[in-house]
């Protein structure tokens, strides 16, 4: 079998543009072995865990993979739907809507596919589908508004790893981040305002971002500055004073120091200030997933109430909202300049 993948095209087939939208991924089911397979792939990525393999492999295979899937699968079962994983369902519907917006362009030039960095649908299957549609140009859009080596960097690594096995390489462009995009910011601001309107009015707003190890930032990862700027931009759009919002990080893993302040510490601080009602928004997540629907909406909500708070409500991610699809299409279209 040849090392390089070949795709046979019909004679005279028109060349098209491929748009590859990429999200993190999810287990196929909320079961022990499905979660274990997913965690093995995820936690084997050097972009995610940048630790010597001599130290990490014994921990991963001897402790984490045998034990962690029990708890993680149980948490997935709390949020699983009839359509399966919320992250996958929302990502698929969002991709379809973006494709519909882009189809308004003259002609039939753009094909859009969804791929996951880990799990299914795989990046390889998405790129294969695009290749069969004779896409000779490829735009990659990771669904991470703020660049991080752990997320956006992994998309680059794994996409190029698939492409290097192709005999015919597409001309390729890559979107690093889009948190400054005015339509994205407007859509998220409107999402927050609508949530407040439907839930009794404004309360203290917590901007919570998925954390990364502090050492990654010290080594040059710009994620922290991107997250902080996102918070400032949204707070300004919402006309919030400094006392009306907080910024923090969630989803720590392991014993190393991660970006601070941690979510649990921020909740304790707010209780100490007499804040009893809070709203949480997570601008680092394009669609809702385990970290928002279970970690925040269930776990941190219960923790806040135990600390003496009255309510903690989660602003839904933009998910497959029409405004989200329009914003992403608006980010994609300028990138296609010169290709159509």
Is residue 3 a part of any domain in this protein?
no
Residues ≥6 apart with Cβ < 8 Å to 273 = none
d(CA 90, CA 98): 12
DSSP 242: G
pLDDT higher than threshold 70 for residue 1: no
Peptide bond preceding 121 in cis form (omega within 30 of 0) = yes
**Domain match, 166 and 274 both:** no
**Domain match, 186 and 156 both:** no
For residues 73-96, give the mean pLDDT: 97
pLDDT higher than threshold 70 for residue 340: no
By three-state DSSP, how is residue 122 classified?
strand
From residue 30, alpha-carbon distances to 153, 238, 246, 285, 294 in Å are 27, 37, 33, 20, 13
For residues 113-121, give the mean pLDDT: 97
β partners of residue 22: 115, 142
The pLDDT mean for the chain works out to 94
**Domain match, 140 and 264 both:** no
Residue from 140, 124, 158, 145 nearest 48 by CA:
158
**Domain match, 214 and 141 both:** no
- Answer for the pair 98, 21: CB distance below 8 angstroms, yes or no: yes
**Total structural domains in the chain?**
2
Report the CATH number at residue 207.
3.40.50.1400
**Domain match, 221 and 268 both:** yes
Residue from 320, 285, 293, 284 nearest 90 by CA:
320
**Domain match, 169 and 258 both:** no
Task: Say how many C-beta atoms besides its own lie within 10 A of residue 116's C-beta.
Answer: 23
Domain span at residue 277?
Answer: 182-314
d(CA 120, CA 244): 40
The pLDDT score that the predictor gives to residue 332 is 96
The pLDDT score that the predictor gives to residue 157 is 96
Residue from 92, 113, 89, 87 nearest 332 by CA:
113
Task: Say how many C-beta atoms besides its own lie within 10 A of residue 2's C-beta.
Answer: 7
What predicted TM-score, i.e. pTM, was given to this entire model? Answer: 0.93
**Domain match, 120 and 203 both:** no
d(CA 160, CA 22): 13
Is residue 8 a part of any domain in this protein?
no
**pLDDT tens string 153-176:** 999 999 999 999 888 899 999 999
Residue 112: CA count within 13 A, CB half-sphere: 23
d(CA 90, CA 87): 5
The total number of residues shown for the chain amounts to 340
**pLDDT tens string 171-209:** 999 999 999 999 999 999 999 999 999 999 999 999 999
d(CA 249, CA 227): 10
């Amino acid at each position: 079998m040849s090392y390089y993948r070949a795709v046979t095209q019909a004679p005279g087939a028109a060349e098209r543009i491929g748009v590859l939208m990429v999200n993190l991924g999810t287990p196929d089911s909320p079961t022990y072995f499905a979660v274990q397979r997913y965690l093995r792939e995820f936690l084997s990525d050097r972009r995610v865990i940048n630790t010597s393999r001599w130290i990490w492999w014994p921990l991963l295979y001897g402790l984490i993979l045998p034990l962690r899937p029990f708890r993680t699968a149980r948490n997935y079962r709390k949020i699983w739907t009839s359509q399966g994983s919320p992250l996958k369902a929302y990502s698929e519907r969002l991709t379809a809507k973006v494709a519909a917006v882009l189809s308004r362009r003259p002609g039939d030039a753009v094909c859009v596919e969804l791929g996951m960095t880990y799990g299914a649908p795989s990046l390889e299957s998405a790129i294969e589908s695009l290749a069969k549609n004779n896409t000779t140009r490829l735009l990659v859009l990771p669904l991470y508004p703020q660049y991080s080596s752990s997320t956006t960097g992994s998309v680059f690594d794994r996409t190029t790893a698939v492409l290097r096995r192709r005999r015919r390489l597409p001309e390729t462009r890559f979107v690093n981040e889009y948190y400054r995009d005015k339509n994205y910011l407007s859509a998220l601001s409107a999402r927050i305002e609508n949530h407040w309107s439907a839930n009794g009015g404004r309360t203290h707003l917590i901007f919570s971002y998925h954390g990364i190890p502090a050492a990654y930032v010290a080594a040059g990862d710009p994620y922290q500055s991107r997250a902080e700027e996102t918070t400032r931009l949204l707070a300004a759009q919402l006309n919030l004073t400094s006392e009306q919002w907080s910024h923090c990080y969630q989803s720590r893993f392991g014993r190393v120091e991660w970006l601070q302040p941690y979510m649990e510490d921020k909740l304790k601080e707010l209780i100490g200030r007499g804040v009893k009602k809070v709203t949480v928004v997570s601008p680092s997540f394009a669609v809702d997933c385990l970290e928002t629907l279970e970690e925040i909406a269930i776990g941190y909500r219960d923790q806040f109430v135990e600390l003496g708070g009255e309510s903690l409500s989660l602003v839904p991610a933009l998910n497959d909202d029409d405004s989200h699809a329009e914003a992403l299409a608006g980010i994609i279209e300028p990138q296609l300049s010169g290709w159509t």
